[in-house]
A and B are shown apart, each in its own frame.
Chain A
Amino acid sequence: MFPIPIQKRPLINRISYKILVPVSLFIWLIPLLGIMLTSIRGLGDITAGNYWGMPSEFLLFSNIKEVFQNTPMLTYIINSFKITIPTVIGAVAISCMTGFALASYKFKANLFIFFTFIAGNFVPFQILMIPVRDLTFQMGLYDTVTGLVLFHVAFQTGFCTLFMRNFIKALPNELFEAARIDGTSEFNIFLKIVVPLTRPAIAALSVLIFTFIWNDFFWATVLIQGQHAMPITAGLKSLNGQWVTVYHLLSAGSIMAAVPPVIMFFLMQKHFIAGLTLGASKG
């Protein structure tokens, strides 16, 4: 265990540690606490510059109501789901297949393809921007949820393949061999053996991709222009320009944007962290 467990330390250390932890947590979360506090304030507090004192009114729900009534926030949230969920399903499904192919078959181009996926995953978005936008135009999918989803699926396939391939590779190969000897077809090996065994990886990938896509701002800006298909990140950005002086509404909107991934994270924490830290503990 490193560092030495605090329980083995002198009392004074133990007490100061127990004080230090909540204090540092509070400092760490100040930005988020600030925005939460602001989201329950009324306009009065904002104009009076009361940002850190007790809110003079508790208006969270009326602020949220105002956001929903005066802005297309509801559409934005629905769009975010419409973009995120199909992307998660698509990317995970495709990468199960690519991951399986790269993990359990030997062929010449294997490593090359694998590294291509990895390399593509690190590419700066800007180098893809203009061609992807043009391509989406030509397919008639510009400014549609479908167009954005297609790109997201394609791009996320890079990361997901890396993830899945490493996961499947770590599965005992004997399982597949035994099934082959029993005459199970390759497709059935995939469906009946690989998919059930990769469930934890699928769960981890799903939460990760959900968060990545939900929080995507760049591609939403590049491939979407109208409110009808705009996800919440890009929507918030446009409200940011409109609401420069009404921080309480902007805060309420920001919180709405943050809630789904946060819920996702707390529900699926184990998988989320397992996904993010893949490779952090082994060479």
Chain B
Amino acid sequence: MRKILATLIAITSLGYSSAFAGTLVINTDLTDPAPKAAFDWAFKKFQEENPDVTIEVNNFDHEGYKQAIRNFLTTSPPDIFNWYAGNRMLPFVRAGLVEDVSDIWSDTGWVDGNLTEGMSHAKKPMTIGGKQWGIPYTYYQWGVYYRKDIFDANGISVPTTWDEFVAACATLKAAGVTPITIGSKYLWTTAGVFDYLNLRTNGYEFHMALTKGEVPYTDPKVHAVFDKWDELVKPGYFLENHASLAWQEAIPPMVNGEAAMYVMGNFSVALFKEGGLTNDNLGFFQFPEITPGVPMAEEAPTDTMHIASGAKNKIDAKRFLIFLSRADVQEEMNKTLGQLPVNSGSKVDPDPFLEAGLNMLNNAYAMAQFYDRDAPAEMASEGMKGFQEYMVNPDRRDKILERLEKVRQRVYK
């Protein structure tokens, strides 16, 4: 039946392509300059290739979008919307708000084509219940961004083990430099640190188990993560007053040379460079090993595009998804985004940070999405509040973890 219908659609769309041609409504929160430029380019290119389709874009501001998405998916669904892989899409998939796009992922393909070979490795993160629910178009690495010149001036070489890392912090602190800058006002930056400490101490499987709610927060393994964190927080290796700063506001201290490192995602490079740093004094290294033998997994959040189940123009929407997965398209877009294309056929922009990131991720044992994408929203929100509180008051660890455990029992029941 499905096949017949598909064939019918194919025939009619061949014969009367203009009859189906219509508007493609796309909701995004890609209002920051780089993503906006990348998508403006992609929309233009798609329209050049499909002159019968008109694209209508609704832009939302970044923070507002996360609230808005629930509303528009239920009340006035667009054809296409951007979102994130992992657990963040789960509630929408479960509520039947996201269109199943397994056909464009399948080998036999959809009538109008399917994804290229280069995408097959990305199938798993898009899969829930054996079906695929969207396509990824970009991802980026997390790690430690640092001031090369400050490291050199203090005789520090890039740390690869935890002891070296802590020693480097001690040297920097003694030299009057804040070892690690961070702005935790909007909480999520703390999760980057927590995730890495967790991934390095306990490994990827534990990270997934924790974010899936299978392990209590009072588990000794969670305490082990905080033991490591203590080694950074208690001697005051993080920037003072970080709870009052947005992540961008923590960049100037590093630009001014008051701080030396930032555990961040690659999107921060643009801001570092805007502040005046160059490839000569800004560097990147992989978060060092903590427990020897734990395979090195990385944080690599993936940004994705989906079709709403209530979409009016699903055919063009699927075409757009296929278009967006193409090697040439992803290559061009990610050049503008300053991030990594998902399609393995795309070339990566020759940029030392992207190359370092690609190299690291290609050798990664596994890729985590990020605490607030792997854990359900409610847990993530409470968790990150707890991380922030811990970073200001490390002595409250037990109390915080007990509270998080209470939340876990409620959220995952």
A–B direct touch in complex (beta carbons closer than 8 A): yes
What residue of chain A has the Cβ atom nearest to residue B31's Cβ? A242
| Mask of B246-268 contacts with A, CB within 8 angstroms, 1/0 | 10110110000000000000000
CA A236 to CA B232, docked complex, whole Å: 37
Give, as a whole number of angstroms, the nearest-CB distance from A104 to chain B.
Answer: 44
Q: Given A137-B75, A244-B249, A245-B249, does the pair A225, B62 have CB atoms closer than 8 Å?
A: no
Residues of B within 8 A of A142 (CB): 71, 75
In contact, B58 and A242 (Cβ under 8 angstroms): no
Chain A CB within 8 A of B72 CB = yes
Closest CB of chain B to A244's CB: distance in Å? 4
Residues of B within 8 A of A226 (CB): 58-60, 68
- Residues of B near A225 (CB, < 8 A) are 60, 64, 67-68, 71-72
Contact B64 A242 (CB under 8 A): no
Given contacts A244-B248, A245-B249, contact A137 B58 (CB under 8 A): no
Alpha-carbon separation in the docked complex, A113 to B178 (Å): 64
Q: Is the CB of B61 within 8 A of A241?
A: yes
Residue B63 interfacial (CB < 8 Å): yes
> Residues of A contacting B246 with CB < 8 Å?
241, 244
The count of residues in chain B whose C-beta lies closer than 8 Å to any C-beta of chain A is 20
* Complex Cα spacing A228 to B61, Å: 11
Residue of A nearest to B251 (CB): A245
Q: Are the CB atoms of B71 and A137 closer together than 8 Å?
A: yes
* Beta-carbon contact of B63 and A245 below 8 Å: no
Q: Please measure, in the bound complex, the distance between the C-alpha atom of A47 and the C-alpha atom of B64, giving whole angstroms.
A: 28
- Enumerate A181-237 residues with CB–CB distance to B below 8 Å: 225-228
How many angstroms between the C-alpha atoms of A143 and B248 in the bound complex? 30
Instruction: Please tell me which one of the listed residues A140, A228, A245 contacts residue B252 in the complex, with CB atoms under 8 A apart.
Output: A245
Choose one: B59, B71, B249, B252; the contact of A143 (CB below 8 Å). B71
CB-defined contacts of A241 to chain B, threshold 8 Å: 61-63, 246
Once the chains are docked, how many angstroms separate the CA of A244 from the CA of B252?
12
Q: Chain B residues near A56 (CB, 8 Å)?
A: none
Contact partners of B59 in chain A: CB under 8 A: 226-227
A residues less than 8 Å from B63 (CB atoms): 238, 241
Question: Interface size class for chain A?
Answer: 10 to 19
Neighbouring B residues of A244 by C-beta, 8 Å: 246, 248-249
Q: Does B32 contact A (CB under 8 A)?
A: yes
Chain B residue contacts of A47, Cβ below 8 A? 252
From known contacts A142-B71, A225-B67, A225-B68, infer whether A245 and B60 are also in contact, taking CB-CB under 8 Å. no
Known: A142-B75, A225-B68, A225-B72. A245 touches B248 (CB 8 A): yes
- In Å, the complex CA distance between A73 and B246 comes to 22
A93–B100 CA distance with the chains assembled, in angstroms: 51
Give a binary string over B59-92; 1 marks a CB under 8 Å from any A CB, 0 the rest. 1111110011001100110000000000000000
Whether A242 touches B61, Cβ cut-off 8 Å, given contacts A225-B67, A225-B68, A226-B68, is yes
Q: Cβ of B58 and Cβ of A238 under 8 Å apart?
A: no
Q: A143-B71, A244-B248, A244-B249 are in contact. Are A228 and B64 (CB under 8 A)?
A: no
Q: Mark A134-172, 1 if CB is under 8 A from B, else 0.
A: 000100101100000000000000000000000000000
Q: Mark B6-50, 1 if CB is under 8 A from A, else 0.
A: 000000000000000000000000011000000000000000000
Whole-angstrom distance between the Cβ of B312 and the nearest chain A Cβ? 16
When the two chains form their complex, are residues B32 and A242 in contact, meaning their CB atoms are under 8 A apart? yes
Per the bound structure, the CA–CA distance linking A45 and B32 in Å amounts to: 24
A227–B30 alpha-carbon span in the complex (Å): 13
Distance from A194 Cβ to chain B, minimum over Cβ atoms (Å) = 42
Contact assessment for A228 and B62 in the assembled complex, using a CB-CB cutoff below 8 Å: no
In angstroms, Cα B274 to Cα A245, docked, is: 12
Contacts of B64 in A (CB 8 A): 225, 238
Instruction: Pick the residue among A140, A227, A242 that contacts B60 (CB under 8 A).
Output: A227
Given contacts A142-B71, A242-B32, contact A228 B58 (CB under 8 A): yes
User: Shortest beta-carbon distance, A232 to chain B, in Å?
Assistant: 13
Tell me, in angstroms, the Cα distance from A19 to B58 when the chains sit together.
56
Return chain A residues, CB-CB under 8 Å to B61. Answer: 227, 238, 241-242
Q: How far is the CA of A241 from the CA of B246 in the complex (A)?
A: 8
| Distance in angstroms between the alpha carbons of A245 and B72 in the assembled complex | 31
Task: List A contacts of B251 (CB < 8 A).
Answer: 245
Of the candidates A137, A140, A242, A245, the one whose C-beta lies within 8 Å of that of B62 is A242
Q: Which residues of A contact B68 (CB under 8 A)?
A: 143, 225-226
The distance from the CB of B396 to the nearest CB of chain A, in whole angstroms, is: 28
Q: Which of B222-248 contact A (CB under 8 A)?
A: 246, 248
Instruction: For the complex, give the distance between the alpha carbons of A226 and B65 in Å.
Output: 8
Chain A residues within an 8 Å CB radius of B67: 225
- Shortest CB-to-CB span from A2 to chain B, Å, is 45
Contact flags (1/0) for B371-406 with A, using CB distance below 8 Å? 000000000000000000000000000000000000
Q: Give residues of chain A (22-60) contacting chain B, Cβ–Cβ below 8 Å.
A: 47
Bound Cα distance A242, B75 (Å): 28
Q: How far is the CA of A241 from the CA of B67 in the complex (A)?
A: 15
Inter-chain CA distance A152–B62, complex, in Å, is 26
The chain B residue sitting closest to A133, CB to CB, is B71
- Which A residues lie within 8 Å of B60 (CB)? 225-227
B57 vs chain A, min Cβ distance (A): 11
What A residues does B76 contact at CB under 8 A? 143
Q: How far is the CB of B345 from chain A (nearest CB, A)?
A: 34
| Shortest Cβ gap from B252 to chain A (Å) | 7
CA distance A241 to B61 in the complex (A): 9
Alpha-carbon separation in the docked complex, A226 to B248 (Å): 24
Q: How far is the CB of B37 from chain A (nearest CB, A)?
A: 13
Report the separation of the CA atoms of residues A238 and B61 in the bound assembly, to the nearest whole angstrom. 6
Distance (whole angstroms) from the CB of B273 to the closest CB of chain A: 14
For the complex formed, measure the closest distance between the CB of B316 and the CB atoms of chain A, giving whole angstroms: 22
Residues of B in contact with A (beta carbons under 8 Å apart)? 31-32, 58-64, 67-68, 71-72, 75-76, 246, 248-249, 251-252
Q: List 22 A-B contacts (CB under 8 A).
A: A47-B252, A137-B71, A142-B71, A142-B75, A143-B68, A143-B71, A143-B72, A143-B76, A225-B64, A226-B60, A226-B68, A227-B60, A227-B61, A238-B64, A241-B62, A241-B246, A242-B32, A242-B62, A244-B249, A245-B248, A245-B249, A245-B252
**Interchain residue pairs A-B with the least CB separation, the first 5:** A238-B61, A225-B68, A244-B246, A244-B248, A244-B249
Known A-B contacts: A226-B68, A242-B61. Give 14 more (CB < 8 A).
Answer: A137-B75, A142-B71, A142-B75, A143-B68, A225-B60, A225-B64, A225-B72, A226-B60, A227-B60, A238-B62, A238-B64, A241-B246, A242-B62, A244-B246
